[in-house]
A and B are shown apart, each in its own frame.
Chain A
């Protein structure tokens, strides 16, 4: 199935067809998620209504880690099999992942100001998320640093693979170091420790964020595909 989808023109046609449906799914999930997150879920005993930032903060964090994982997998495919679509997907994922990690840091900072009393603290989870953001920036810088844009794909792919060492550090940093940030309550040994009424809006918001991620990555991939087609047509003298 991956081989079938891996032809760039076929990828373009199929995703072009799926785009309106993705948009519809996104709007539905977002409306349901926001309703549950803002109105139907319980308040926290200590934090009051401010806990509702969690429904944006946690999905952004999950999605930034997921996007770096996807980035390193696509980069690995590109280095090993030299598939151009893997490179296009990596270049589409990088800015989106960078923005999600920035959003995690900003929403976490806004949440931390009333709760912890500080906008920023240099503990393990925040620092490793900041390092993840800088890794994304390094990838974007390297992939666009060359005269001919495609020359930068392979060094940037190597960089993404080397940087994937950071992922377990981000995930497990709250367990390894003494930290102010709350430890994991969902993806942990011993099962889920969060209540059902908060878990459902969280899952719906996560699905909404994932749909948004797929939508934006596909749109960016389309624009890179069209850009490359135009460049090659110009080189061939057809335009």
Chain B
């Protein structure tokens, strides 16, 4: 069981990061989105400082939602997902491993390189690690919700539009909690309460999202 899980894990990592350039592409997407805001708000530091939590979180949400609806399509067209479904590993465990690998390919480079990115927004550096931690909690939640949305629109026409309509209302509480955490950190206080709320939403999603995703995949495979 453990060797099966680890082999699926390594296979997913290799598929999602075919070359070592893939994390750099993710960073590139994030930076391109980030670039829009200073250019449109004007480089004077006041507006940018006030909006920086929102900018960080909105850009990370959009980075997670790029091409999320195509997440399962290649696996299904190759028949890989059906083979996994037939093994004695429960589908929700497989989905959880896929979500973790998605986060490692998209969210992990973001968080590792976040101190460099914070230079662009002139953020104060003392509580940066707490911002990284709250970004970790939030981006893992985005991965779980994104996988859920991708499974629900499997086989639909215009899935790229509908998946955004489904995912965004579910991510709004996570955005609110994450931006509050970041706001507190930028003022120099450790945001215990909002970090608890982020942990609560992450644990809720860890419980709910694999179940819903596996039900949706089973519906598609019928």
Contacts and interface: CB of A to CB of B under 8 A. Distances in A.
A159 B208 CA distance: 12
A146 B157 contact: yes
Interface residues of A, number: 22
B31 interface: no
Given A137-B165, A145-B158, A162-B212, 5 more contacts: A134-B169, A138-B165, A141-B162, A146-B156, A155-B153
Contacts of B76: none
A142 B148 CA distance: 13
A142 B155 CA distance: 11
Interface residues of B, number: 23
Interface in B112-148: 148
A137 B173 CA distance: 18
B159 A145 contact: yes
B170 interface: yes
A154 interface: yes
Interface string A35-51: 00000000000000000
A145 B37 CA distance: 34
A166 interface: yes
23 contacts: A79-B215, A131-B169, A134-B165, A138-B165, A138-B166, A141-B161, A142-B153, A142-B156, A145-B153, A145-B156, A145-B157, A146-B155, A146-B156, A146-B157, A155-B216, A155-B219, A158-B152, A158-B215, A159-B166, A161-B212, A162-B170, A162-B208, A169-B173
A interface majority secondary structure: helix
A163 B219 contact: no
Interface string B36-76: 00000000000000000000000000000000000000000
Contacts of B1: none
B20 interface: no
Contacts, number: 57
Interface string B188-222: 00000000000000000000100010011001000
A189 to B, nearest CB: 24
A10 interface: no
Contacts of A79: 215
B169 A163 contact: yes
Contacts of B168: 134
A66 B159 CA distance: 29
A142 B162 contact: yes
A145 B162 contact: yes
B82 to A, nearest CB: 18
Q: Which 8 A-B pairs have the closest CB atoms?
A: A145-B156, A155-B152, A138-B166, A154-B219, A138-B165, A134-B169, A141-B162, A131-B169
A151 interface: yes
A145 B157 CA distance: 6
B170 to A, nearest CB: 7
Interface in A105-132: 131
B216 A142 contact: no
Contacts of B170: 162-163
A161 B215 CA distance: 12
Contacts of A135: 169
B86 interface: no
Interface in A131-173: 131, 134-135, 137-138, 141-142, 145-147, 151-152, 154-155, 158-159, 161-163, 166, 169
Contacts of B208: 162
B218 to A, nearest CB: 9
A154 B168 CA distance: 20
A145 B215 CA distance: 18
A162 B204 CA distance: 11
Contacts of A138: 162, 165-166, 169
Nearest to A169: B173
A158 B166 CA distance: 12
